[in-house]
Amino acid sequence: MSDFTEQALRYHAEPRPGKIGIEITKPAETVTDLALAYSPGVAAPVREIAKDADNVYKYTAKGNLVAVITNGTAILGLGNLGPMASKPVMEGKSLLFKRFANIDSIDIEVTHRTTEEFINTVANIADTFGGINLEDIKAPECFEIEKELIKRCNIPVFHDDQHGTAIVTAAGLLNALEIQGKDISTATIVCMGAGAAAIACMELLIKCGAQREYIYMLDTKGVIHTRREDLNKYKTLFANNTDKRTLLDAIEDADVFVGVSGPNVLSAEALSLMAANPVVFACSNPDPEIEPELAHATRDDLIMATGRSDYPNQVNNVLCFPFIFRGALDVRASEINAEMKIAAVEAIRQIAKESVPDAVLKASNVDKLEFGKTYIIPKPMDPRLLSRVAKAVAQAAIDSGVARLPMPEQYME
């Protein structure tokens, strides 16, 4: 057992198992306190909520409570290890919600026999929460699950493995292309991987200006093309009418490589075939599609990002999901739509172009960060993410008609 593994196990086990807890938000010291908190005082808000269901937001914690829900079928890069094995990850997600956006969150691990049973379980408990963050659910079931829950729930439902990854990828990629003097509308993109994250990333990039016909998506059988007969309906959307069959075929003269697949699948030979000034997002974790040292030794003109914190340009969902939900909850949005996702992309992009606060430099253990090849997206600890991304998302919710409250006063300051 490595020292880090042992440290991680101690972190999770001591001095109290787990990473989250429940706190009391009202006085509970006297007989009067208890009478107000429970019987008979609790009857007053019960009656008010019975008169008008929206009063639940006034008298309970619903409006700042997100459920992190999984079935454990796609845990990180570890695979289908079941609901209980996923619990540390879901608790970690709840920790991040609280740490970065002061959102209360509880993890829920669902055991089920069918996709319909999972959907019914989540839909039946959804009214307890202000929002639902779906996590670590394998493709293609995750697409159907999210689609049906969005239909059935009157609160935001967001599959972070899809859309959180897509938002951060799009923000970083658009900035990288700008630095490299390229335009998303003419860029040739190779996507290694065809699961939930890959498909969501490409769909959002298309909404940001990429051309579907310039995208070459690959799965374990090679390029997804129109003559393949083994494609599900989600992969079919990216079936390219091409004679390219392998990664080496697809990547020749490509501007962008996006990897959401597995370690060491991008060789130096393949990287050398890319167009001048390429952009490489090797986001497999913990081991990227190509090691950064090898990539930089092969090409001195590239911009590279990974999912790791020990290299520049970390593509990390924590840049997005806490603030997406903060903005959505604060205007009581009924859903998280495309307009809100694109607003988050643009807000994240802009922060990277501005001067970096000293506190962020200190937390990052660097003397300087400046928009360029090694700094294309903000650091997760940048405090501007909360106010700027949340406000942009809230405004997009208002503008697109899914908000049920006006812009909060704190965003107007």
Give the chain's domains with CATH numbers.
Answer: 3-25+61-155 (3.40.50.10380), 163-412 (3.40.50.720)
Report angle CA 340, 364, 257 to the nearest 5 degrees: 55
Q: Describe the crossing of helices 141-152 and 196-207 by its angle, rounded to 10 degrees.
A: 60
Catalytic residue flag (residue 62): no
| DSSP 8-state code for residue 364 | H
Tell me, what's the pLDDT at 292?
A: 95
| Residue 316 annotated as binding site | yes
Q: Which residue has the higher pLDDT, 139 or 105?
A: 105
Catalytic residue flag (residue 214): no
Which percentage of the chain shows pLDDT scores above 90?
A: 91
Segment 206-222, tens digit of pLDDT = 999 999 999 999 999 99
CA 225 to chain centre: 28
| Residue 64 annotated as binding site | no
What is each CA distance from 274 to 188, 206, 252, 278, 279, in whole angstroms?
Answer: 10, 21, 5, 6, 9
Question: What is the spatial distance between Cα 288 and Cα 174, in angstroms, rounded to a whole number?
Answer: 20
Residue 99 tokens read as 């740490």
What confidence tier does 237 reach under pLDDT thresholds 50, 70, 90?
Answer: very high
| Residue 285 annotated as binding site | yes
Amino acid identity of residue 295, one-letter, is: A
Q: Which residue has the higher pLDDT, 76 or 314?
A: 314
Question: What is the spatial distance between Cα 326 and Cα 318, in angstroms, rounded to a whole number?
Answer: 12
| Residue 330 annotated as binding site | no
**Which among 19, 26, 38, 59 is annotated as catalytic?**
38
Segment 18-52, tens digit of pLDDT = 999 999 999 999 999 999 999 999 999 999 999 99
Tell me, what's the pLDDT at 2?
A: 83
**Which among 59, 62, 93, 207 is annotated as catalytic?**
93
| Residue 135 annotated as binding site | yes
Question: What is the spatial distance between Cα 386 and Cα 318, in angstroms, rounded to a whole number?
Answer: 11
Q: Which residues of 191-219 are buried (b: 16+ CB within 10 A; e: fewer)?
A: bbbbbbbbbbbbbbbbebebeeebbbbbb
